[in-house]
Amino acid sequence: MSNILTNIIFLPLFIAVILGVLRAPLKLLKVGAFFSSILVLLLVVFVIIDFDPKGNMQLITYLPWIQSAGIFYYIGVDALSLVVLTLIVLLMPPLYLYMYHEKRKGYWYNMMILQTGVTGAVLSLDLMLFYLFWETMLLPIFIMIGMYGSGMHQYNSMKITLMTILGSMSMLFSILYIGYIYFETYGIWSFSLDKLSLLSFNPQTSLWLTAGFLLAFVIKIPLVGFHTWMAPAYGSAPTPAVVIMSSIMAKLGIYGIWRFGFTLFEETLLFYTPFIITIALIGLLYYAIRAVSENNLRRMFAYSSGSHLSLIALGLFVNNIYAWGGSLYFIATHALASAGMFIMIGLTYQRFRTLDINSLGGIAQKAPLFTFFFAFFALSIAGIPGTGGFVAELLIIIGAFKENFILGFLTSFTMLSAMIYIFWMLQRVLFGQPNNSTPFADLNIKETLMLLPLVILLILTGVVPSLFTPYFEPYLTQLLGVAS
Amino acid sequence: MSPDLFYLLVSLLFSIGLVGLLSRKNLFVIYMSIELMLSSVNLLLATLSKVLGDANGSVMALLIIAIIAAEAALFLAMIIHLYKEIRTIDADEFNQLSEAEQC
Amino acid sequence: MLNIIVILPFLSAFIMAVVYLSNTKPQRYFFYTLIGVGSPTIITILSLLSAYELLNGAPTIHTTLLTWINIGEFNIDISFMADKLSVVMISFITFIATFIHIYAAGYMKDDEAYGKFFSYFNLFIGSMLLLVLADNPIMMFIGWELVGLSSYLLIGFYHTESQNITAANKAFILNRVGDFGFIMGIALLFVSLEGTGFTFSSIKENISLIPLDTLNLIGIFLFVGAMGKSAQIPLYVWLPDAMAGPTPVSALIHAATMVTAGVYMVARYSFIYEELPDVGLFIAYIGAFSALLAAIIASYQSDIKKILAYSTMSQLGYMFIAVGLGAYSSGIFHVFTHAFFKALLFMGAGGIIIALHHEQNIFKMGGLKKQLKLVYITMFIATLAISGIPPFAGFFSKDAILMTTYASEHYLIWIMATFTAGLTAFYMFRLFFSVFHATPKEPLSVHSLDKSITYPLIVLAFGSATAGFLGVNAAYGGDALINNFLALPDRLTHISHSTEYLLGGLNVLLALSGMLLAYKMFAATANEPIENTFFSKLIINKFYVDEFYVMLIVKPIHLSSHLIANFIDPKIIDGFISIQINTYTKVAVLFSKLQNGQVRYYALYILTGLSLMSCYMIYKLGVI
């Protein structure tokens, strides 16, 4: 039981390695991958059952790794990482189901390695370990876009890789320098988060170090100005990679700021707050407006995702319980909704072989069930009450109003921003007369079953948020208490 | 006899070799220039051995003469081989490693 | 009981949706009708029961279903409250809704998506009841938004026509603009009252804690929500387009229930608005202008449903005049009576449309009084009611509002409202005479109507004729039952009975003259209005407000989107990145020139390097 987190992280990788060594046939590979995701899901359920919402870091594993450099294998889970962890493991099985017809073996291996990368990044508490996983998750994405993508996929995969590596490098520099400061202060090297949080930096250094971290996270999210990799990468990545990028990796940017930013540079972040809030507010509308003229479905929802992530980042930098609760809740619900949406888009592509909005249309006549799911996910991205997104947006708006009136007013534009493009998109994609004579099959049972959990979760998060809030509310209160 | 004269000769020989190396295109001339530079260094070694009264220098010089002989055999053989392959002994023609043109 | 009232329609909507989606082909007419009409029937009975309870002096009913959310001080329950106001609302909403459901069962009988329709319809009823019965602003807002959503679904019900979806989008987006205001009002309200609880009763108790200028903002923001939902200036443009939906939808949503949510909301927050007479006046002016504008436009329309839509907007204007001037119970009373006759008008119009094979232009109809006798009689009652002819329902409620405007001494509002009353009679009878009396231009083939379509008309006609008696003023010998029952914080007005008779007489006179004018112009032959003068052109084109919005809002958004797509993203942001990449590449080209593959150059580099090293050593180490 004490190694449960380690198992959660490395089980997919382990299974991937075994299958790889055995040169497993495709069928076994599929079963193995799916099996691993289910197994991990079960393990996480155990973690959730045992989880104490009032406690701090739990299930800590602290083992020496590279002792001379003070690098430890240091992992643990708290409310924050539990939310993201749950998301990851919830999304993997539907994705494997989605990939059911995929014949290229590399695809499956990449997904398993990716899972290890993201779960590792969420759970690690040692900066060096975090950096390792942070880069680990980039590699499969690079391969998946580069090898299995569409369009200008090689160019786009280079673009995303170079831009994120730029961020990673600046973060690595900051990490090393923090370690060095620790070494100067205490005479030994250490990269453990709890030890480093004891350090106090001089303001000038701290400013640069924070900038180093922020750059990595802000590119990953991405906020406006750091976003040009996003639409091309989303546009040419295969659907599972898009889902992981939008639902998990982007959220890891937010998570990173929360975990490392607020632990290490509480005060310096205050300096950056007006800046981040401004670009987040700009991003909220900028992406939404950009999405209006986008004719590729996947790219449109890339911008949509950017818009909502800006809102999450905004909530994160408004220091009160409502905005934080809203942000954390939005991380979860937006991940579910956008995963559903991107899967629907993938299914559209499988049927029509095109994602150009103008050549779609009239789907509602041919496939009611498909229409229902498509519209449901689109509307839940738009934040319709009864889905989790609404609760989150409401909380963030309240938090913003608590901060000050102007901020509240500007944040409320989130009510309108998604409207602008989603409804016009629905009209052109689902309704009207078909522009495309390709026969359109409705969802089959397998596809319905893969989407149903997402729908149920979205409705549950919207109708009874009180089922979920107890898991993170005490933690946030405590965090805010420490902060003030 | 002052060693300065020898030093001057060494410098002279080395410079001639260097200029030959840089300015001529013919592989044989380049080869001869290299030999000239090598000989000048050899002469320096011998001179210093005499001046400092240390036999090591002379030993080294003798050793180098032996190596030069071996090297000459190898070098000439390679030039002939190259000539057989590409029908030229112009050094500027051998630029397959150039980076400039591929860009 | 309240829990069941709210949950039942959601549940039936869900069941029908699942059954429909699981296999869309079989019709299952009986099943859908049973569930779709059964659930509103049950909730009508339950609503009337709870109304009866309150009538007998029971205190406000509170029920809690479950805890919705718990974060910080934000403790919201899914809980319902039935006080006198909401009980009145749910009684007539469920009552009328049931009959519209029965009507729809006949009207939509042959539609392929019959099950889908009833699923949406029940979803709508559930949302509306959630809105009305909510115990706290958040639940109310959820109902508010869901009402908008179901209206979107229903307007776009005939989804194969792209323009219907455009209408649905327009409705939803403009509603969302209203919600944008509404949510700001709620958030501000919550933040100002943080920690004192967030139910209507606790807000009412602590309202004095909020400074007046914040309260002003809250009042205005909340009203922005009402503007959107109740189609007032400047957010009204969606309502006429919303007629793209099936007629039962227009009857239910765009006449009787959803659009009155704004009025209900102002009455629900009457404890705020009574502190804010200035905001109230603003609301009244918006109402007055909307009423007048809509009436003018309605007089020039030729689509039967659009005329009714504008008339709805006009009547909603009256309601806002009332609640703005502090006569909350008069406003609600008008909501109540209006629901009957407007639903009836729409259902009658729907009957006519069906009978004439989906013809909607009133000038292509005519002489229908023989063929559609029942529709004729019931529509006549409804038209009299809306025109304010005593003793039909509309007279009493409209008269009460007009009296309030007079007593408030804002005579401009009074003049506009009274003039609109005359205009109402004119355009309603214009419709009536053109459809039923005028000689048709070409012979019409008329369908016979289903019983499920005609019988609800009779019930509602009875309602339209008698609903007004519940609120007869003291001046006319009644004792304003409904006003006394509602017990809202009405601003008191003093006005003598003789003035009241005078005003009432004036209104009836105006209405009769409007009726007469319409008779003269349209009873014999009805001709479509033509765009010959500047004014008629302006009015027929609805004052070009749609075009104005397109130019002012839609175009700039598209333009800036293209600007971002074609300039800012690729040129500025990516441009900034590519400058660095290009520099990098150029430097690399420069360096690659050095490696030209020629041995002699390499020798030169070696020499240069060696010389530099030697110089350095000589200089630094001091060899010389």
Q: Domain boundaries in chain C?
A: 286-530, 548-621
Question: Tokens 């004052």 belong to which residue?
Answer: C543
Q: Does C176 touch chain A (CB under 8 A)?
A: yes
Q: Does C190 touch chain A (CB under 8 A)?
A: yes
Which one of A470-474, B60-64, C451-455 scores highest in mean pLDDT? Answer: B60-64
Whether the CB-CB separation of A430 and A375 falls below 8 Å is answered with: yes
Residue of B nearest to C601 (CA): B22
Apex CA A375: angle with CA A373 and CA A380, to 5°?
Answer: 95
Q: Write the CB contacts of B71 (distance below 8 Å, at least 6 apart in sequence).
A: none
- Interface touch C596/B100, C-beta < 8 Å: yes
Q: Supply the mean pLDDT for chain C.
A: 87
Apex CA C255: angle with CA C251 and CA C256, to 5°?
Answer: 90
What distance in Å separates residue A70's CA from the closest CA in chain C? 36
- Interface touch C66/A289, C-beta < 8 Å: no
Reported pTM: 0.88
Q: Does A53 touch chain C (CB under 8 A)?
A: no
Q: Does B96 touch chain C (CB under 8 A)?
A: yes
Amino acid at B72: A
**Residue A484: per-residue pLDDT:** 53
Using CB atoms, which residue from C595, C599, C603 is nearest to B99?
C595
Whether the CB-CB separation of A57 and A77 falls below 8 Å is answered with: yes
Using CB atoms, which residue from C180, C188, C557 is nearest to A415?
C180
Q: Which residue has the higher pLDDT, C442 or A147?
A: A147
Residue C46, both tokens: 């339950």
What is the rounded CA–CA span in Å between residue C427 and residue C23?
Answer: 46
Q: Does A444 touch chain C (CB under 8 A)?
A: no
Q: Write the CB contacts of B2 (distance below 8 Å, at least 6 apart in sequence).
A: none
**Which positions 92-151 of C are in contact with A (Cβ < 8 Å)?**
116, 138, 141-142, 145-146, 149
- Interface touch C604/B91, C-beta < 8 Å: no
**Residue A1: per-residue pLDDT:** 53
What distance in Å separates residue A438's CA from the closest CA in chain C? 17
Could you count the other beta carbons within 10 Å of the beta carbon of residue C376?
18
Q: Does B21 touch chain C (CB under 8 A)?
A: yes
Contacts of A290 in chain C (CB under 8 A): 561, 564-565, 569
Q: Write the CB contacts of C167 (distance below 8 Å, at least 6 apart in sequence).
A: C155, C156, C238, C241, C242, C243, C244, C245
**C-interface mutation test, from B15, B86, B99, most C Cβ less than 10 A away:** B99
**pLDDT tens figures, A295-334:** 999 999 999 999 999 999 999 999 889 999 999 999 999 9
Residue C388, both tokens: 């304010």
Whether the CB-CB separation of A367 and A442 falls below 8 Å is answered with: yes
Task: Please report which confidence band the pLDDT of residue A31 belongs to, taking 50, 70 and 90 as the band edges.
Answer: very high
Q: How many residues does chain B have?
A: 103
Q: Write the CB contacts of C583 (distance below 8 Å, at least 6 apart in sequence).
A: none
**Residue A353: per-residue pLDDT:** 85
Question: Tokens 């380049």 belong to which residue?
Answer: B30
Contacts of C70 in chain A (CB under 8 A): 466, 469-470, 473
Apex CA C611: angle with CA C607 and CA C613, to 5°?
Answer: 115
Contacts of A386 in chain C (CB under 8 A): 142, 146
Q: What percent of chain C has pLDDT over 90?
A: 32
- Which residues does residue A77 pair with via DSSP β-bridges, in sequence order? A58
Tell me whether the omega of the peptide bond preceding residue C9 falls within 30 degrees of 0, making it cis.
no
CA distances from C403 to A375, C334, C494 (A): 48, 13, 10
- Structure letter (DSSP) for residue A455: H
**pLDDT tens figures, C475-495:** 776 777 777 787 778 877 777
- Given the DSSP bridges, would you call strands C61-71 and A71-77 parallel, antiparallel or unpaired? unpaired
Q: Write the CB contacts of A26 (distance below 8 Å, at least 6 apart in sequence).
A: A103, A105
Detail the DSSP E strand segments found in C455-561. Answer: none
CA distances from A185 to A188, A189, A201, C54 (A): 8, 10, 11, 74
**Residue A482: per-residue pLDDT:** 67
- Interface touch A228/C177, C-beta < 8 Å: no
Using CB atoms, which residue from B23, B92, B102 is nearest to C598?
B92
Task: Please report which confidence band the pLDDT of residue B98 belongs to, taking 50, 70 and 90 as the band edges.
Answer: low
Q: How many residues does chain C have?
A: 624
Contacts of C69 in chain A (CB under 8 A): 391, 465-466, 469
Using CB atoms, which residue from C595, C599, C600 is nearest to B100?
C595
CA A273 to chain centre: 22
CA C230 to chain centre: 4
- Interface touch A419/C72, C-beta < 8 Å: no
**Which positions 12-51 of A are in contact with C (Cβ < 8 Å)?**
none
Residue A39, both tokens: 């197994």
**pLDDT tens figures, A236-279:** 999 999 999 999 999 999 999 998 888 888 888 888 899 999 99
**Residue A149: per-residue pLDDT:** 86
Q: Does C600 touch chain B (CB under 8 A)?
A: yes
Using CB atoms, which residue from A291, A365, A397 is nearest to C187?
A397
Using CB atoms, which residue from A290, A398, A470 is nearest to C565?
A290
What is the rounded CA–CA span in Å between residue C423 and residue C429?
Answer: 10
- Structure letter (DSSP) for residue A433: S
What is the rounded CA–CA span in Å between residue C450 and residue C552?
Answer: 47
Give the closest residue to A88 by CA, choosing from A137, A51, A125, A129: A137
Contacts of A292 in chain C (CB under 8 A): 557-558, 561
Contacts of C593 in chain B (CB under 8 A): 100
Subunits next to A (3 or more Cβ pairs <8 Å) are: C
**Which positions 38-77 of B are in contact with C (Cβ < 8 Å)?**
none
Q: Do chains A and C touch (3 or more CB pairs under 8 A)?
A: yes
Lowest-confidence region among A53-57, C283-287, C400-404: A53-57
CA torsion A318-A324-A325-A326 (nearest 10°) is 60
Give the closest residue to A37 by CA, choosing from A136, A98, A115: A115
**pLDDT tens figures, C312-370:** 999 999 999 999 998 888 899 999 999 999 999 999 998 888 888 888 888 888 788 88
Q: Does B92 touch chain C (CB under 8 A)?
A: yes
- Three-state DSSP state, C443: coil
**pLDDT tens figures, C65-122:** 889 988 888 889 999 998 888 888 999 899 999 999 999 988 888 888 888 999 999 9
Give the closest residue to C308 by CA, choosing from C389, C379, C371: C379
CATH code of the domain occupying B3-102: 1.10.287.3510
What is the rounded CA–CA span in Å between residue A312 and residue A331?
Answer: 7
Question: Tokens 């000769």 belong to which residue?
Answer: B9
Q: Does B79 touch chain C (CB under 8 A)?
A: no
| Phi/psi of residue A66, nearest 5 degrees | -115, 90
Burial of residue C56 (CB within 10 Å: 0-12, 13-18, 19+) is: exposed
- Interface touch A408/C184, C-beta < 8 Å: yes
Lowest-confidence region among A81-85, A244-248, C256-260: C256-260
What distance in Å separates residue C22's CA from the closest CA in chain A? 8
Q: Do chains C and B touch (3 or more CB pairs under 8 A)?
A: yes
- Three-state DSSP state, C160: coil
CA torsion C88-C92-C93-C98 (nearest 10°) is 150
What distance in Å separates residue B27's CA from the closest CA in chain C? 10
CA distances from A395 to A388, A401, C183 (A): 11, 10, 11
pLDDT higher than 90, residue A340 = yes
Using CB atoms, which residue from A227, A289, A385 is nearest to C145?
A385
**C-interface mutation test, from A166, A228, A333, A445, most C Cβ less than 10 A away:** A228
Contacts of C602 in chain B (CB under 8 A): none
Task: Please report which confidence band the pLDDT of residue C542 belongs to, taking 50, 70 and 90 as the band edges.
Answer: confident
